[in-house]
């Protein structure tokens, strides 16, 4: 036996001891293997995050995994009930290892209890908790922070002795171990004699351990840096957290022997401890919950037909087994009875759904078939119905035989619960949309027959893997569904899924730069030398970046940062919660895996992969904003006369208005189709069917985008379609000669080479993943099959295989694309047929996102829909469609801002206002409103916010006058209420006739003064922007009359991450200016929001730019021109607009940016001579400038004759002049040319590119 196999590390921290452990699991196991160790432990601080991945890695390296934890123990029988009590209770460390599966379960329960019940700074447990979960565990006396060493360090041997006795009584002397440590620290060395004395007195085993926090001795510096990252310190600081030696690494046996040579048994005992431990995690078991039918449920089972379904499964399964050379199966009565348990109920539901979805009576069809008769005497109708019944039988056979009946019932149940309560559910997502059973159960809303989808893409006997229904719900109600599942299956059996954030290359470089006293700019510069590649490693970055190589060579600090970064990158930095994943188990989750809390929700300590591998059911409950938009829009439509029963799920899929909208590319707000690229595609393709929408969603991705021109060309000229083989002509005609979908690859293999669809799915996966060994085998199967099935020779078969392989790299899941195309179509339908109702819903969905709201308000303007400010008598909670009865049909509808959307008002106050208005009618005036809403939630601040945003403009009183009167009116109403309560009637109440009042102040109220100056427009706009998020009464940029459009070079809504390192120029209002100081040298800088007329942008003015242009950022509300550079940080997923010029701007000065104006006219519009004279007069009567005028006479739609004016015919194109030109009846349109952007000043450190 190798000597190192006589020693095992029993105290090891991985990077899951967050920002303390500096050792990745894979590197630990690799190093342990190099040292010849037969076992290795994991004992992270208070967590079990890494246990499952460690278990698998250790097995991979042939090492026995010892599963443990260093818990936080409160040396008391109970934990404090309040934070004050908890603060007084000290927590100690204690190492635990699981001996067996019972020990593993107790460890998960104990650690979980610390996270869910005992958390105070750390996840803590009491002595009582420890006692209750002691079985199957080995405990250790621990490090210097443990109970016994703490007593010994304090010189209190007797207390240490009592504690030792308590732990011996708890665990038994065989399973309580004395632990010796010596990292060269005098405190450790000082207590070793007393620890040995305790071992002798209690007859306990002694082991030596190293408190491993990093893998190699050389990793002590990266570990020290990690501690600085954890504590926010810098390496140069004297008083910071640091370890007292450099010995906390994975030592060899020889190194440990040199330290503990006087106690050789302490080394060999580590092997004895390892031999006590034998934990097998139950990977591959099934712990899916069983669906429990309601006790009051009554239905008529159909065992005869269900047995036929089971026979189909046996037949199909045996076909596969025979092909694979395996023994066939048969089902005895016990097996059949087990399948019948919930299978009969699922069968019953499916038959019901078949009737509802397709109008097919399953029992009737089969009875007629047995009698040799036809449905309604119609052969075609009978054949179609029989086809549906056969597909249902087939799918149920596979679902039942593979053990997923309960899975389908669980999904059906919570979706039915949601639908019954009006919670919008998506039409489907992923391969599940290809399942007919899911469609008839209303789990999905996509007819797989209509769209040619394949069940085998989700589930088949040749590749049995769990089906995966990712379900979309309305954003607002998604949590309601999750809570229903928690309540139904037990809150201790349902949990969210943890996620781990890790150090990427750029992130760790920036972190290490900071702790090494580099400025933000210096760290940013070094990080940006790393190529912008997803998940790039520092090794690859150095190999690919010559700039980085040079920096490392000449800069010692940069070299140290990169070298330390190579050790830390990939380690865990933080935890989070999976956005939509939920685990459901058939028993309390802590029987199988540990849990913690994230944002107050029970959350697994294992991530998605290990949780599923341990047999737990993972479901994705996604919140999709589009469903909320569709639901709100549908509700808006139902308010229209005659549309009370409108159902978006039942609209025609061939609506002409919808496809006209798509052809016109008016797709802003349309799901998946609103980007500039998609708009161009809809226009080029002249989208005319939902099938084309399905294809566009599949094609508009990196990779398959190369086939888009071929797809469009194939539609417009079918003769150009490329068909790999005549047998595939019908298959590829649907997509105009392009293999768009994974399903087409599968069907091609079936048609050409005789594959089953299950076998074709294996081929598809192999092609997509480029697994060479599998590909080579599949290629031979394909060639042989092509010969046997269709007599296709080898050369042609290889050619077809190569074509399929090419498309399989890019092919998209048609089921997913079809499901999302349905949402695209529904949003397009709503916009085309009910634009105001739809846009109101879209705006409501984007509350809080000023940029998006502004973008969609601009779209409302394009649709001639006016967006009105809030009105106390017309607004509802959210954006609401309102009709002006005095206008014609086209202009009748506007959108009114919602009360709850006003900053400072809030949901509670808005609901009180609406409840009062709905109960007692509209508010007659301001005094009436104050009188009727005297509630704590509708306070002075709420009233002022309503006034500032124009909610009382209907009263006819200026906002400024109302604002000045708020306190006066509130006090008067309060005084009057007190008088009435005291029985004192006001003289006016008794004598004044309401109909005879001279003003609207109301009885007992003084009139609001209106003799002061009105609120200035600039102040109105400022309040609107502050409280509504956008301008309602106008926009400060309106005075530019559109000249700002030619100045700005960014398109609102475009994806700026695609514009990395490009220059920008924007003109707008500087808002929300935040000034800061740099950490290193206290230089001022700022960031602010720039509100252009069409969008909002976040701008950074770093020290050099801020120093030059600070005067233009002195206060909010100034109009400025900003030029700079766009920077995209892939690591953080952030796009920054960094300014290098910030200049004061006005409408008048905008003219300087227009170099030429081309006026387009037609020969029939007006005599050219008259237009020329008009232009001459303009030039003569206006200030000369740098805008040269051109005339373009349109000959036809595509051609024009251009007339250049002499250089001296130039003017200063101020906004007023530009407006005059636009309004001239002979001018069809004007195209403006702008001057180029300034050449940016490069930072001094930035090398010029040669």
Name the residue with tokens 């009698």. Answer: 371
What integer pLDDT is reported at residue 1187 of this predicted model? 85
Q: Which two tokens stand for residue 775?
A: 């590909």
- CA 367, 371, 376, 379 torsion: positive or negative? positive
What is the rounded (10 degree) CA torsion for 1049, 1054, 1058, 1060? 40
Residues of the chain where predicted confidence (pLDDT) is lower than 50: 1, 3-4, 985-988, 990-1000, 1243-1250
Q: Which two tokens stand for residue 368?
A: 């007629």
Q: Which two tokens stand for residue 796?
A: 């042609």
H runs (alpha helix) in 324-435: 333-358, 362-370, 379-401, 405-420
Alpha carbons 625 and 610: distance in angstroms, whole number: 30
Q: How far does the chain reach from its first CA to its final CA, in angstroms?
A: 62
Strand residues in 1082-1153 grouped as ranges (E): 1084-1091, 1096-1101, 1119-1129, 1134-1144
Rounded to the nearest 5°, which phi and psi values hold at 892?
Answer: -70, -25
Cβ partners under 8 Å of residue 802, min gap 6: none
Give the pairing of strands 470-474 and 206-208. Answer: unpaired
Q: Which residues face 595 on adjacent strands?
A: 604
Helix, strand or coil, per DSSP, at residue 525: helix
- The DSSP result for 965-1013, as a single string, is HHHHHHHHHHHHHHHHHTT---HHHHH--GGG-SSTT-TT-PPPP--SP
- The DSSP result for 867-926, as a single string, is EE---TTT--SS-EEEE-TTS-TTT-EEEEPPGGGSTTTHHHHHHHHHHHHHHH----SH
Q: Are the C-beta atoms of residues 99 and 276 closer than 8 Å to each other? A: yes
Q: Which two tokens stand for residue 209?
A: 């351990």
Rounded to the nearest 5°, which phi and psi values hold at 61?
Answer: -95, 10
Strand residues in 682-831 grouped as ranges (E): none
Q: Which two tokens stand for residue 708?
A: 């888009």
Give the pairing of strands 572-584 and 137-140. Answer: unpaired
What integer pLDDT is reported at residue 1117 of this predicted model? 81
Alpha carbons 968 and 782: distance in angstroms, whole number: 87
Alpha carbons 1049 and 1123: distance in angstroms, whole number: 10
What's the fold here for domain 1035-1147?
OB fold (Dihydrolipoamide Acetyltransferase, E2P) (2.40.50)
Q: Which two tokens stand for residue 1029?
A: 């998020």
Q: Which two tokens stand for residue 904?
A: 């400072």
Q: Biggest alpha carbon distance in the chain?
A: 117
- The DSSP result for 110-134, as a single string, is HHHHHHHTSEESEEEEEHHHHHHT-
What integer pLDDT is reported at residue 577 of this predicted model? 92
- With residue 621 as reference, give the H or E element that holds it: strand 617-624
Q: What angle do CA 127, 129, 134 make, to 5 degrees?
A: 90
Q: How many CB atoms lie within 10 A of CB 910?
A: 24
Name the residue with tokens 């009969």. Answer: 344
What integer pLDDT is reported at residue 339 of this predicted model? 94
Helix, strand or coil, per DSSP, at residue 822: helix
The count of C-alpha atoms lying within 13 angstroms of the C-alpha of 373, restricted to the half-sphere facing its C-beta, is: 9
What integer pLDDT is reported at residue 136 of this predicted model? 98
Taking the domain 3-215+250-276, which CATH number applies? 3.20.20.140
- Judge if pTM exceeds 0.95: no
What integer pLDDT is reported at residue 1006 of this predicted model? 66
Q: Are the C-beta atoms of residues 493 and 615 closer than 8 Å to each other? A: no
Alpha carbons 284 and 301: distance in angstroms, whole number: 33
Q: What angle do CA 570, 571, 577 make, to 5 degrees?
A: 100
Q: Which two tokens stand for residue 1028?
A: 């509504």
What integer pLDDT is reported at residue 1078 of this predicted model? 82
Where are the domain boundaries for CATH 3.20.20.140 in the chain? 3-215+250-276
Rounded to the nearest 5°, which phi and psi values hold at 571?
Answer: -75, 160
1018-1021 contacts, C-beta under 8 A, 24 or more apart: 1018/1117, 1019/960, 1020/950, 1020/959
Where are the domain boundaries for CATH 2.40.50.140 in the chain? 1035-1147
């Amino acid at each position: 036996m190798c000597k190192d196999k006589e020693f095992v590390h029993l105290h090891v921290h991985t990077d899951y001891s967050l920002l303390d452990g500096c050792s990745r699991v894979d590197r630990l196991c690799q190093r342990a293997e190099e040292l010849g160790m037969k076992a290795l432990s994991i004992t992270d601080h208070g967590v079990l995050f890494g246990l499952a991945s460690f278990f698998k890695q250790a097995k991979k390296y042939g090492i026995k995994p010892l599963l443990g934890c260093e818990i936080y123990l409160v040396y008391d029988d109970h934990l404090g009930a309040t934070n004050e009590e908890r603060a007084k209770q000290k927590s100690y460390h204690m190492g635990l290892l699981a001996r067996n599966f019972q020990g593993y379960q107790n460890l998960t329960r104990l650690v979980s209890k610390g996270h869910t019940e005992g958390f105070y700074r750390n996840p803590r447990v009491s002595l009582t908790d420890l006692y209750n979960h002691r079985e199957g565990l080995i405990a250790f006396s621990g490090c210097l922070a443990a109970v016994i060493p703490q007593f010994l360090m304090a010189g209190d041997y007797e207390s240490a002795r009592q504690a030792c006795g308590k732990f011996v009584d708890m665990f038994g002397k065989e399973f309580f171990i004395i632990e010796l440590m010596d990292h060269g620290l005098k405190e450790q060395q000082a207590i070793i004699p007393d620890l040995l004395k305790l071992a002798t007195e209690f007859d306990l085993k002694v082991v030596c351990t190293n408190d491993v926090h990093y893998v190699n001795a050389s990793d002590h510096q990266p570990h020290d840096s990690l501690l600085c990252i954890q504590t926010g310190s810098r390496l140069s600081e004297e008083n910071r957290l640091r370890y007292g030696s450099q010995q906390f690494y994975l030592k060899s046996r020889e190194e440990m022997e040199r330290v503990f040579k006087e106690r050789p048994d302490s080394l060999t005992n580590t092997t004895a401890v390892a031999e006590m431990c034998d934990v097998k995690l139950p990977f591959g078991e099934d712990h899916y919950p069983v669906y429990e039918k309601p006790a009051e449920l009554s239905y008529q089972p159909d065992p005869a037909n269900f047995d036929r379904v089971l026979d189909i499964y046996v037949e199909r399964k045996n076909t596969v087994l025979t092909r694979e050379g395996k023994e066939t199966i048969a089902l005895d009565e016990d097996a059949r009875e087990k399948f019948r348990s919930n299978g009969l109920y699922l069968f019953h539901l499916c038959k019901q759904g078949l009737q509802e979805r397709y109008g097919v009576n399953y029992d009737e069809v089969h009875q007629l078939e047995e009698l040799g008769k036809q449905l309604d005497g119609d052969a075609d109708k009978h054949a179609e119905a029989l086809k549906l019944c056969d597909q249902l039988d087939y799918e149920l056979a596979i679902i039942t035989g593979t053990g997923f009946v309960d899975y389908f019932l669980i999904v059906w149940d919570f979706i039915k619960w949601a639908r019954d309560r009006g919670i919008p559910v998506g039409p489907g997502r992923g391969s599940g949309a290809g399942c007919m059973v899911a469609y008839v159960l209303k789990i999905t809303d996509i007819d797989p027959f209509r769209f040619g989808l394949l069940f085998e893409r989700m589930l088949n006997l040749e590749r049995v893997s769990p089906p995966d229904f990712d379900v979309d719900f309305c954003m607002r109600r998604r949590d309601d569904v999750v809570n229903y599942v928690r309540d139904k299956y037990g809150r201790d059996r349902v949990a969210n899924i943890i996620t781990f954030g890790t150090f990427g290359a750029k992130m760790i470089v920036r972190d290490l730069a900071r702790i090494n006293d580099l400025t933000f700019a210096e760290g940013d510069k070094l990080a940006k030398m790393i190529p912008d590649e997803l998940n790039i490693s520092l090794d690859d970055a150095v190999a690919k970046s010559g700039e980085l190589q040079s920096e490392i060579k000449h800069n010692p600090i940069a070299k140290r940062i990169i070298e330390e970064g190579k050790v830390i990158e990939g380690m865990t930095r933080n935890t989070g919660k999976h956005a939509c994943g939920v685990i459901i188990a058939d028993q309390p989750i802590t029987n199988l895996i540990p849990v913690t809390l994230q944002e107050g929700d029970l959350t697994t300590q294992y991530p998605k992969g290990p949780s599923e591998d341990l047999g737990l059911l993972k479901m994705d409950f996604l919140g999709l904003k589009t469903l909320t938009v569709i639901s709100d829009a549908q509700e808006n439509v139902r308010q229209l006369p005659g549309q009370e029963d409108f159902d978006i799920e039942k609209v025609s899929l061939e609506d002409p208005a919808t496809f006209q909208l798509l052809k016109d590319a008016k797709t802003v707000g349309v799901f998946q189709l609103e980007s500039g690229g998609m708009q161009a595609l809809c226009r080029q393709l002249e989208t005319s069917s939902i099938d084309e929408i399905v294809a566009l969603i599949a094609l508009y991705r990196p990779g398959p985008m190369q086939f888009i021109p071929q797809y469009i060309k194939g539609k417009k000229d079918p003769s150009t379609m490329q068909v790999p083989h005549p047998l595939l002509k019908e298959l590829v005609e649907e997509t105009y000669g392009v293999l768009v979908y994974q399903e087409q690859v599968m069907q091609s293999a079936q048609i050409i080479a005789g594959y089953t669809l299950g076998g074709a799915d294996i081929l598809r996966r192999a092609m997509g993943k480029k697994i060479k060994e599998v590909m080579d085998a599949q290629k031979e199967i394909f060639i042989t099959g092509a010969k046997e099935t269709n007599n296709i020779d080898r050369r042609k078969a290889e050619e077809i295989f190569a074509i399929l392989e090419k498309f399989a790299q890019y092919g998209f899941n048609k089921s997913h694309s079809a499901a999302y195309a349905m949402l695209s179509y529904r949003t397009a339908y709503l916009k085309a047929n009910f634009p105001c109702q739809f846009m109101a819903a879209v705006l409501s969905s984007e509350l809080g996102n000023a940029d998006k709201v502004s973008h969609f308000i601009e779209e409302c303007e394009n649709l001639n829909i006016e967006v009105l400010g809030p009105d106390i008598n017309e607004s509802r909670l959210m954006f609401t469609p309102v009709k002006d009865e005095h206008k014609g049909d086209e202009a009748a509808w506007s959108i009114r801002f919602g009360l709850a959307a006003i900053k400072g008002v809030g949901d509670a106050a808005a609901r009180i206002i609406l409840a009062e208005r709905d109960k007692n009618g509209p508010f007659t005036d301001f005094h009436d409103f104050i009188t009727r809403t005297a509630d704590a939630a509708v306070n002075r601040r709420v009233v002022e916010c309503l006034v500032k945003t124009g909610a009382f403009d209907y009263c006819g009183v200026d906002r400024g006058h109302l604002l000045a009167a708020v306190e006066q009116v509130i006090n008067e109403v309060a005084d009057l209420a007190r008088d009435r309560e005291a029985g004192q009637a006001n003289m006016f109440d008794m004598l004044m006739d309401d109909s005879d009042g001279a003003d609207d102040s109301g009885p007992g109220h003084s009139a609001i003064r209106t003799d002061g100056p009105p609120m200035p427009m600039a102040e109105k706009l400022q309040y609107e922007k502050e409280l509504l998020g956008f301008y309602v009464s106008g926009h400060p940029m309106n005075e530019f009359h559109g000249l700002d459009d030619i100045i700005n070079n960014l398109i609102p809504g475009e994806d700026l991450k695609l514009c990395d390192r490009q220059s920008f120029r924007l003109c707008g209002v500087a808002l929300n200016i935040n000034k800061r100081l740099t950490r290193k040298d206290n230089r001022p800088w700022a960031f602010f929001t720039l509100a252009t007329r069409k969008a909002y942008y976040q701008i950074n003015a770093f020290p050099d730019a801020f120093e030059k242009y600070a005067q233009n950022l002195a206060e909010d509300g100034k109009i400025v021109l900003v030029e700079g550079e766009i920077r995209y940080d892939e690591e953080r997923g952030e796009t920054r607009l960094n300014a290098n010029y910030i200049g004061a701007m006005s409408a008048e000065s905008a003219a300087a940016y227009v170099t030429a104006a081309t006026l387009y006219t037609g020969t029939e519009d007006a005599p050219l001579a008259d237009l020329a004279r008009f232009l001459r007069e303009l030039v003569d009567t206006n200030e000369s400038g740098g805008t040269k005028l051109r005339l373009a006479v349109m000959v036809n739609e595509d051609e024009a004759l251009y007339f250049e004016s002499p250089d001296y015919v130039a003017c200063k194109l101020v906004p007023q002049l530009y407006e005059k030109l636009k309004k001239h009846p002979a001018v069809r349109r004007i195209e403006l040319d702008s001057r180029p952007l300034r050449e940016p000043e490069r930072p001094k450190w930035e090398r010029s590119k040669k």
